C-alpha cells in the first residue's frame, strides 16, 4: 500500500487541491494548513447565522451553511458551502472544511482538513488530521494527536520507519471510511478508503482499504 494522497482521497472535486499538489506523503498537507490560510483566506460570512455564535474576524463561511447558537469559531478557519456547524462545536485555529459537512455538538477541531460530505456529529476530537470525502466519525471518536513522550510521530510501513516531521499528527481517514463510536485513533493512524471500524476500537498503524476492523 502506498502513502500518496491519491491512494486515500478523490481530489478532483475538492476546493483546496493546492494543499496536495506537492505532497509526497498523505500527511504532508497538515504541515501546510496554517500558511495556506494565511495567504489565501478572505474572511467573509455568507452563512445563515442563528442567534449569537462566536465567529472571529479570521473566518470564511460559504453560502448555505448554517451556524447554530453556541458554536465557537476562533479561526483562522475556512468553512465551505451547505455545512452545519452545530451548537457547541469548537473550531480552533487553522481548520479547513469542505462542502456539505457536519461539525457537531461538543466536537473540537484543530489544524485539520475535512474534505466534502464529512460528518463528525457528536463529542469528538479532531486534531492535526485529514478526513476524506464522506468519512464519518461516530460519537466520541478521538483522533489523538500527541505521543505521550511528546516526540515526533513516526510511521511504520512494512520494514520501514518514516519520519513525518510532525510532533502533532492525529489521523488520516480515507474516503468513505466509517469509524465506530468511542474509538481512539492513536497518533499517526492511517485508515484506507471504505474501511469499517467497530465501536470501541483502539487503533494504531495503517489499515488498508476496504477492511473491517474489529
Show which residues are catalytic: 122
Q: Is there a contact between 96 and 37 (Cβ–Cβ < 8 Å)?
A: yes
Distance CA 46, CA 169 (A): 31
Place of cell 463561511: 61
Cell triple for 101: 459537512
Non-local (6+) Cβ contacts of 84 within 8 A are: 65, 66, 68, 101, 102, 103
Angle at 160 between CA 158 and CA 162, to 5 degrees: 120
Amino acid at each position: 500500500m502506498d502513502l500518496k494522497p491519491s491512494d486515500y482521497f478523490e481530489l478532483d472535486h475538492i476546493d483546496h487541491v493546492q494543499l496536495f499538489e506537492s505532497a509526497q506523503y498523505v500527511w504532508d498537507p497538515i504541515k501546510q494548513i496554517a500558511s495556506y490560510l494565511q495567504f489565501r483566506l478572505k474572511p467573509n460570512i455568507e452563512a445563515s447565522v442563528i442567534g449569537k455564535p462566536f465567529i472571529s474576524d479570521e473566518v470564511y463561511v460559504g453560502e448555505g451553511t448554517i451556524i447554530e447558537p453556541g458554536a465557537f469559531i476562533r479561526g483562522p478557519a475556512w468553512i465551505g458551502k451547505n455545512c452545519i456547524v452545530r451548537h457547541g462545536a469548537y473550531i480552533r485555529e487553522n481548520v479547513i472544511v469542505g462542502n456539505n459537512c457536519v461539525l457537531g455538538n461538543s466536537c473540537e477541531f484543530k489544524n485539520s482538513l475535512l474534505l466534502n460530505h464529512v460528518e463528525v456529529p457528536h463529542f469528538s476530537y479532531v486534531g492535526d488530521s485529514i478526513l476524506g470525502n464522506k468519512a464519518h466519525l461516530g460519537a466520541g471518536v478521538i483522533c489523538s494527536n500527541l505521543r505521550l513522550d511528546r516526540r515526533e510521530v513516526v510511521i511504520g510501513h512494512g520494514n520501514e520507519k518514516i519520519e513525518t516531521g510532525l510532533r502533532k499528527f492525529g489521523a488520516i481517514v480515507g474516503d468513505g471510511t466509517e469509524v465506530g463510536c468511542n474509538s481512539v485513533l492513536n497518533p499517526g493512524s492511517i485508515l484506507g478508503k471504505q474501511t469499517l471500524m467497530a465501536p470501541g476500537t483502539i487503533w494504531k498503524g495503517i489499515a488498508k482499504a476496504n477492511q473491517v476492523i474489529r
